[in-house]
Amino acid sequence: MSIFTGAGVAIVTPMKEDLSINFDKLGELIDYQIDNGTDAIIICGTTGESATMTHEEHLECIRYAIDRVHKRVPVVAGTGSNCTDTAIYLSKEAQKYGADALLLVSPYYNKATQNGLVAHYGAVAKVTDLPMIIYNVPSRTGCNVLPATLAKMFKEYDNIVAVKEASGNITQVAQIMQMTNGDMDVYSGNDDQIVPVMSLGGKGVISVLSNVAPRQTHEIAASYLAGDVKKSCQLQLDAMPLIAKLFCEVNPIPVKAAMNMMGFEVGSLRPPLTDLEKANEEGLRRALADYGLL
């Protein structure tokens, strides 16, 4: 049984003017996502600015999301760290709170060898019963979780069940599926590759686009799962100009700007991230309008 199929949102963390977390607004965003077809809530990922949260804030966000969702859809808690002990701690706490699954980014900055990755993820897998999604995003971490490494962990640990693949390398996705006999669940970590990943047997996407277009992102995946590949492909292509603008600067800078343009009032970003540069505002606004969101 997959953790979810379709489109899960890598939800932003709204901030107040003093850059404290706006939990009331987070609750509104969660309800909006579920009301518009989002298939899972992924809390405290990269898009949620987890890198600038204290452990207390991180866990408070996870607990709040689980309570607010109230079993309407799965909640996947981001509990990854470049410190194995921290990843273990966050993962154990998330399980206590009632998370449905965990998303664990590969160790960043200090990185790891492939053997080190197996040891890192294995240490977490041994202390939690929750299903784990490995998050491979080498452009951010400087560390690529190779297909053979994923296959090894998938075979050794019953609860390492899925990967969020954001390497951008479609060949790597194919290799993962081939090495795991198509049994490991693969989620696209890139909004511009939802259909390509699903064409190789992927289960859907963990999406930034869903923050501004939950219904449309859900439909891309749902149409593919329903067998309407032509419709799914067209919806993917229709979204491409907006997706490009949502990554014109480092995520989540553009998506937060887009949400503010749409009236969601999600606030600013914690340093070292800064607000969207003026030169990119017009293009983003135009892409939102062309996609029917303004």
Residues that are catalytic: 135, 164
CB 69 within 8 A of CB 41: yes
What region, left, alpha or beta, does residue 263 occupy, with left being phi > 0 and alpha being psi -120 to 50 degrees?
left
CA angle (22, 23, 27) in 5-degree steps: 125
Distance in angstroms (rounded) separating the CA atoms of residues 50 and 30: 17
Q: Is the dihedral of CA 258, 141, 195, 160 positive or negative?
A: negative
CB 75 within 8 A of CB 44: no
CB 232 within 8 A of CB 221: yes
Look up tokens 């080498």; give the residue. 138
